[in-house]
Amino acid sequence: MPQNPPIKPFMEVLSGRRQAVPPIWMMRQAGRYLPEYRELRAKAGGFLDLCFTPEYAAEITLQPIRRFNFDAAIIFSDILVIPHALGRAVRFEAGEGPRLDPLDTAAKVSTLAADADFGKLEPVYEALRRVRRELDSTIALIGFCGAPWTVATYMVAGQGTPDQAPARMMAYREPDAFARIIDTLVENSIQYLLGQLKAGADALQIFDTWAGVLPPREFQRWSIEPTRRIVEGVRRQVPGARIIGFPRGAAAQLPAYIEATGVDAVSIDWAAEPSFIRERVQNRVAVQGNLDPLALIAGGDALDRSIDDVLANYAGGRLIFNLGHGIQQETPIAHVEQMLKRVRAYKG
Ligand code: CP3
């Protein structure tokens, strides 16, 4: 008798089928709150060395799965590997976040390579293949990239800034040069995501961490439109590709974002208004989110109440339980365990 292929609850939700117990994973689930991550990080030297050593990247991807048995693993890498492969210098300095050579004039932009050196990203694909081989068949593997807007904010400023003013300013003052950065990121992100699917990713997430700083007209041009082109470009080669969008801080614009981009799900941050999300977003696509990462640090009753709110707000529909943004370093592991236990005990 042929056996039915094992079901991945995470993929079921992305395919439109609500699960009685929502599948769960956490953004930044592989990272500094885990002692086993910190140990390997110290051994590897630089952060990019971790990302580009398949053995390490695969191991770190699997660490949170072994510990918590999440429903999805996300490949350990970073959104800034694309600028790196485009030949921009990218450094991660301890405790300071990323540093790049600023790409902040039209003259500099005219020297930007059109095509990434995908050979530099081969270790990411190899890490995906390794994880795929080791991952339980009920657990999904997520590939990702940054949305062009968010990646561009780091490329232009050369670092993170409180409101990404350098990129916003360049988009107003030098729209043609800025559009060239965005177009370059669109084309190369499509190839990168296709490479990740080929290497074994089940689904893709597009992180637009800085979407929320844009006024609606700029959001349309620099966030929605490039994301739409990426989704279209990926699906031209892989028609059924499942894609999650995360335009952080842009909840009011989600109906337009969903309509234009065609994503299968959106990740929402913790400030989203529940009835608006249910009626204008979750009726169309799956929702992923949206526990406040600070509630996860706080623990105790505050954590239980916050988890129950997410479940009460969204578990009646298609929900992938997650945080509203990445888990923070100081989060106690016991609180992650408390969250998992409570979500998996949900009877809905
Ligand atoms: O989610 C995961 O576990 C997969 C790995 C992952 C990382 N970065 C590893 C990482 C993912 C999906 C990202 C995405 C990412 N990277 C985003 C979008 C999502 C988000 O959280 O907003 C952004 C904006 C970046 C750029 C970036 N990388 C910043 C701003 C920083 C410094 C801030 C920080 O948290 O340290 C990084 C470094 C980084 N990326 C670390 C990790 C585990 C920390 C590196 C270290 O060990 O010092």
Rg (CA), the chain: 19
Kindly report the protein residue whose alpha carbon is nearest to atom 30 of ligand 1. Answer: 97
Distance CA 277, CA 64 (A): 29
| d(CA 198, ligand 1 centre) in Å | 23
Mean pLDDT of 188-192: 98
Q: Is residue 286 part of a domain?
A: yes
Catalytic residue selected from 71, 78, 104, 202: 78
Average pLDDT, the chain: 97
With a CB cutoff of 8 Å and minimum separation 6, the contacts of 81 are 48, 51, 90, 120, 121, 124
Kindly report the protein residue whose alpha carbon is nearest to atom 6 of ligand 1. Answer: 78
Atom of ligand 1 nearest to the CA of 96: 32
Atom of ligand 1 nearest to the CA of 207: 18
Examine the residue annotation and report whether 78 is marked as an active-site residue of this protein.
Answer: yes
| d(CA 97, ligand 1 centre) in Å | 9
- Under DSSP, is residue 226 helix (H, G, I), strand (E, B) or coil? helix
Catalytic residue selected from 154, 192, 257, 314: 154
Q: Is residue 276 part of a domain?
A: yes
- 3 pLDDT higher than 80: no
Q: Tell me, what amino acid is at 119? A: G
Per-residue pLDDT tens digits for 192-243: 999 999 999 999 999 999 999 999 999 999 999 999 999 999 999 999 999 9
47: CATH: 3.20.20.210
Q: Is residue 36 part of a domain?
A: yes
Per-residue pLDDT tens digits for 288-328: 999 999 999 999 999 999 999 999 999 999 999 999 999 99
Atom of ligand 1 nearest to the CA of 51: 9
What is the model's pLDDT at position 34?
98
Distance CA 297, CA 132 (A): 31
- Which run of H or of E encompasses 152? helix 148-157
pTM of the predicted model as reported, rounded to 2 decimal places: 0.97
Q: Is residue 104 part of a domain?
A: yes
What is the model's pLDDT at position 95?
78
Per-residue pLDDT tens digits for 35-81: 999 999 999 888 999 999 999 999 999 999 999 999 999 999 999 99
Q: Is residue 2 part of a domain?
A: no
Kindly report the protein residue whose alpha carbon is nearest to atom 1 of ligand 1. Answer: 28
What is the model's pLDDT at position 4?
78
- What is the number of H-type helices and E-type strands within the chain? 17, 9
Transcribe 78-90 into DSSP letters: -TTHHHHHTT--E
Phi then psi dihedrals of residue 158, to 5 deg: 85, 0
| d(CA 301, ligand 1 centre) in Å | 29
Per-residue pLDDT tens digits for 152-177: 999 999 999 999 999 999 999 999 99
Q: Is residue 99 part of a domain?
A: yes
What is the model's pLDDT at position 284?
98
- Which run of H or of E encompasses 205? strand 203-208
Examine the residue annotation and report whether 41 is marked as an active-site residue of this protein.
Answer: yes
Task: Show the ligand 1 pocket: residues with CB < 6 angstroms.
Answer: 27-32, 41, 47, 74, 76-80, 92, 97-98, 144, 146, 150, 160, 207, 209, 326
- 1 pLDDT higher than 70: no
Kindly report the protein residue whose alpha carbon is nearest to atom 35 of ligand 1. Answer: 97
The domain in which residue 266 lies consists of 9-344
What is the model's pLDDT at position 130?
98
* Alpha-carbon distance values, 70 to 66, 153, 206, 336 (Å): 8, 31, 20, 11
| d(CA 83, ligand 1 centre) in Å | 14
What is the model's pLDDT at position 94?
77
Phi then psi dihedrals of residue 84, to 5 deg: -60, -45
Kindly report the protein residue whose alpha carbon is nearest to atom 3 of ligand 1. Answer: 28
33 and 329 Cβ atoms separated by less than 8 Å? yes
Examine the residue annotation and report whether 28 is marked as an active-site residue of this protein.
Answer: yes
Burial profile 112-138: b = 16 or more Cβ within 10 angstroms, e = fewer: beeebeeeebebbbbbbebbbeebeee
Atom of ligand 1 nearest to the CA of 32: 47
> Would you tell me the crossing angle of helices 148-157 and 165-173 to the nearest 10 degrees?
100
Read off the pLDDT band of 2 (50, 70, 90). Answer: low
| d(CA 23, ligand 1 centre) in Å | 22
Examine the residue annotation and report whether 32 is marked as an active-site residue of this protein.
Answer: yes
Q: Is residue 1 part of a domain?
A: no
| d(CA 59, ligand 1 centre) in Å | 17
Atom of ligand 1 nearest to the CA of 75: 4
Q: Is residue 59 part of a domain?
A: yes
Q: In this structure, are strands 90-93 and 97-100 parallel, antiparallel, or unpaired?
A: antiparallel
Number of folded domains that form the chain: 1
Examine the residue annotation and report whether 71 is marked as an active-site residue of this protein.
Answer: no
| d(CA 78, ligand 1 centre) in Å | 6
> Would you tell me the crossing angle of helices 333-344 and 300-314 to the nearest 10 degrees?
40
